[in-house]
Amino acid sequence: MKTISSFSHMTHQQGLSRRRFVQGAASAGALIGLGGTPLSFAAADTPIMKFPDTLQGQHFELHIGYQNVNFTGAQQIATAINGSVPGPILRWKEGDDISLRVHNHLHHDSSIHWHGMILPTGMDGVPGLSFAGIKPGEYFDYAFKVQQNGTYWYHSHSGFQEQTGLYGAIVIEPANPDPVAYDRDYVIQLSDWSDQAPEDIYIKLKKQADYYNYKQRTVVDVWKDIKEKGVSRSWAERRMWNEMRMNQRDISDVTGHAYTYLMNGNTPEQGWNGLFKRGERIRLRFINSAAMTIFDVRIPGLKMTVVAADGQNVEPFSVDEFRIGVAETYDVVISPSDDSAYCVFAQSIDRSGFCRGTLSPNPSWMAEIPKMDQAPLLSHRDMGMAMGGMHAMHAMPSMDHSKHNMSAMKANGDLSNPHAGHDMGKHSAHKVDVPAPAGMGSQREIKHPATEFGPQVDMRAESPMNGVDDPGIGLRDHQQRYGRRVLKYSDLRNLYKTEDRRDPKREIQLHLSGNMERYMWSMDGVPFADASPLKFKYGERLRIVLVNDSMMTHPIHLHGVWSELETGDPLHIPKKHTVLVQPGSKISYLVSADAVGRWAYHCHLLYHMPGMMREVLISEGGV
């Protein structure tokens, strides 16, 4: 049995609360501080409940510091908030003016970004854009009015501190009666922990992009294919992948090989534990606070009624399973009608691991853990190819420069795209057409900017499908295979009427680009360091079309303003802060540029973010 004796290392001034400790010891035991006397208990089969503190009120003192943790059997140092990973749950009330003093006890700069909060740009917590960051030994006073309600979260926006534990949940009580009825609620915060330093992970990916992938094709798979399909058919099927040098099994850059997946800070061995009484309605507030892991969530035996996405209420609908991208949140309501133990099961998108919890009427019960599903395989569609051929695919830039220029000739004057604009736009500027009306998505043709042709980009989707109807890789056959209804973005309808009914006046097409082999990420082929800001005019309504020119699923987060996802009903457009863009697909949302300032716009996969990022500058002057 292992114990942790980390209390002497607790950095902070506040007295030890029995809930404020970082749990550890993968195998079994942990300590609970009772008046400073450590008490250990052993039973490996006893799920140990551990929560971060819940803080409420209008003023908060948060301390960012080092904290000993043990999630894997080895003691490690995390960057924690008030001594716990995750940090404390912050409960606010809509309409309140709140202030937060954030102290940085690290040896490096730090920051906290309030993810999904509508607030003044100076309070957004992005070093270099909103403010200068918090220097070691200093503090920063955040103050803003809470103008929304629901489930959100916060995290560091400095370095790779998110990976080492700097995140926590935000729950905002509505000012008006809550449209969602529930008897109790739980935050379920999913994350990924690694004993490897995040800088080392990034370097390893640069040196060998498939370093963490231990689910690659082997001779066994070749043999199976040949037995099933014969030599010539399996050769033909492999041809495209081989010619394009793409890996059909490249699902996650960093996998369970490096990660221990956590649910509210509990390892899979420990499991999180939540209680209910039969007949209660329980609201689960799922938050994906992982650095690199997209999760698929289900509770075998229970239907989940989705009531909110990214904190915003949606018309309730029922699912058996949903995919939650990094930084997204979903609120679901469940109502178990019997006294049994239910497993809250979150498997990583590549099925290299999971985290889990038990919901039951009895804290000593543990629900049966289901098996993970099959790992997804990528297909033609995920390369943005029209079904069934590679003629549409531009895999080798050498052969398609000429073709690109021709398609740019046909450009219909998309002035909003600076890259298309400067090379060809002028020729056709007289032919400006009006963007499609709000709600239904873009009608424009997909154009790859000239900057996307080069060694930094290994793929361009030629016929991307709209990702709004796609549950995502690996989930498309779950209805058929398991009878599970899986969430799609097209299921999301805002509970309320769309506030800004204007049609977009212009459209921006932005390509999510990269090179897997070299581990380079960019937008429109240009990394953040070399890009100029995207400029929005204060007050304008515009459409952003994201085209995923890669085979990874990217969660794209726009700070400061809502991403109003065009899911098909112009009158009930759901508002999101983070949008999953399926591989080789496109997706579009509307933006009301109603917040002046410098905002970050980036992929929320931590190791994509340094490159796949833009500044969005919203100003009176605008474009």
Partner 1 sequence: MNKQFLIYRFFFTGLILLSAASVTWGHPAADPVLSMLSFNRLEQRIGEDDTETQWDVDAWLGKDLHKLWIKTEGSYSDGNRESSELELLYSRGVSPYWDIQTGWRGDFNNTDNRQWFALGLQGLAPYFFETEITLYLGQHGQTAVRLDTDYELLLTQKWVLRSAFEADIYGRNDRATKTGSGLSEIEAGLYLRYEIRREFAPYIGLSYERQFGDTAHYTRSSGQRTESLEYLMGIKFWF
> Quick one: 521 or 601, whose CB is closer to partner 1?
521
Q: Which tokens sit at 142? A: 């955040």
H/E segment holding residue 237: helix 219-244
> Does the footprint of partner 1 cover residue 207 (CB under 8 A)?
yes
Point out which span in 181-189, 293-301, 320-328, 454-462 binds partner 1 (CB under 8 A): 454-462
Min. distance of Cβ 400 from partner 1 in angstroms? 12
CA distances from 547 to 135, 434, 563 (A): 37, 20, 15
**Residue 377 interacts with partner 1 (CB under 8 A): yes or no:** no
Stretch that binds partner 1, among 97-105, 242-250, 279-287, 479-487 (CB under 8 A): 242-250
- If one asks whether residue 24 binds partner 1 (CB under 8 A), the answer comes out as no
From 40-48, 400-408, 427-435, 606-614, give the range in contact with partner 1 by CB under 8 A: 606-614
- Work out which of 611, 615, 616, 618 binds partner 1, going by CB under 8 A: 611
- Contacting range for partner 1; rule: CB under 8 A; set: 93-101, 213-221, 489-497, 504-512: 213-221
Chain centroid to CA 195? 21
Q: Residue 230 has what DSSP assignment?
A: H
- Per CB under 8 A, 122 contacts partner 1: no
The tokens for 522 are 């960019």
Please report where in the chains the tokens 């990094």 appear, as a residue.
326
Contacts (Cβ under 8 Å, ≥6 apart) of 79:
64, 65, 66, 67, 106, 110, 156, 161, 164, 165, 166
Which of these, 433, 602, 575, lies nearest to 510 by C-alpha position? 602
Give the closest residue to 602 by CA, choosing from 259, 323, 326, 201: 326
Q: How far is 41 from 33, CA to CA, in rounded Å? A: 12
User: Which CB sits closer to partner 1, 179 or 455?
Assistant: 455
What the block records as the tokens of 57 is: 């009120």
Distance in Å, CB of 131 to partner 1, minimum = 13
How many Cα atoms within 13 Å fall on the side-chain side of residue 218?
4
Is residue 136 close enough to count as binding partner 1 by CB under 8 A? no
Shortest Å distance, C-beta 258 to partner 1: 11
DSSP letter at 45 equals T
Closest distance to partner 1 from the beta carbon of 397 (Å): 6
Q: Please identify, among the stretches 211-219, 304-312, 362-370, 467-475, the one whose residues bind partner 1 according to the rule CB under 8 A.
A: 211-219
Among 52, 86, 87, 159, binds partner 1 (CB under 8 A): 159
**Neighbouring residues of 402: CB distance < 8 A, sequence distance ≥ 6:** none
- Find, among 115, 123, 171, 245, the residue nearest to 576 by Cα: 115
Helix (H) or strand (E) holding 234: helix 219-244
Euclidean distance between CA atoms 129 and 136, whole angstroms: 19
The CA-atom distances, in angstroms, between 4 and each of 16, 36, 71, 459 are 15, 14, 11, 48
Contact with partner 1 (CB under 8 A) among 14, 208, 364, 374: 208
Q: Is 138 in the site for partner 1 (CB under 8 A)?
A: no
Q: Which residues make Cβ contacts (< 8 Å) with residue 480, sequence separation at least 6?
A: none
Identity at 24, one-letter amino acid code: G
**Smallest gap, in angstroms, from Cβ of residue 610 to partner 1?**
4
Q: How far is CA 129 from CA 102, 522, 585, 588, 597, in A?
A: 18, 19, 30, 25, 9
Give the contact letters, 461-500, x = binds to partner 1 (CB under 8 A), - = no. ----------------------------------------
Give the x-and-dash track for 536-555 against partner 1 (CB under 8 A). Answer: --------------------
The residue (of 243 and 339) whose beta carbon lies closer to partner 1 is 243
Tell me, by CB under 8 A, how many residues bind partner 1.
46
State which residue, 214 or 482, has the beta carbon closest to partner 1.
Answer: 214
Q: Which of the ranges 142-150, 238-246, 265-273, 473-481 carries the binding residues for partner 1, by CB under 8 A? A: 238-246
Element at 587 (helix H, strand E) = strand 585-592
Q: Does residue 231 interact with partner 1 by CB under 8 A?
A: no
Strand order in the sheet with 150-155: 54-56, 89-93, 167-173, 150-155, 113-115
Question: Whose Cβ is closer to partner 1: residue 162's or residue 470's?
Answer: 162
Q: Residue 135, interface with partner 1 (CB under 8 A)?
A: no
Give least dist CB 106 to partner 1, A.
11
| Site track for partner 1 across 511-530, x = CB under 8 A | ----x-xxxxx-----xxx-
Q: Give residues with Cβ within 8 angstroms of 422, minimum separation 6.
A: none
The structure tokens listed for 189 are 């915060």
Quick one: 17 or 216, whose CB is closer to partner 1? 216
In whole angstroms, the minimum distance from the beta carbon of 457 to partner 1 comes to 7
- Alpha-carbon distances, residue 423 vs 417, 420, 427, 448, 451 (angstroms): 10, 6, 9, 12, 10
- Segment lying near partner 1 (by CB under 8 A), choices 379-387, 426-434, 453-461, 546-554: 453-461
| 39 versus 74: smaller Cβ distance to partner 1 | 74
Q: Binding residue for partner 1 (CB under 8 A) from 148, 158, 164, 466?
A: 158
Range in contact with partner 1 (rule: CB under 8 A) among 17-25, 277-285, 336-344, 395-403: 395-403
Q: Which of 5, 58, 216, 362 binds partner 1 (CB under 8 A)?
A: 216
- What are φ and ψ of residue 217, in 5° steps? -65, 135
Of 35-43, 312-320, 469-477, 603-611: span binding partner 1 (CB under 8 A): 603-611
Q: Is 370 in the site for partner 1 (CB under 8 A)?
A: no
Q: What residue ranges bind partner 1 (CB under 8 A)?
A: 108-109, 127-128, 158-160, 199, 202-204, 206-208, 211, 214-220, 242-245, 396-398, 454-458, 515, 517-521, 527-529, 609-611
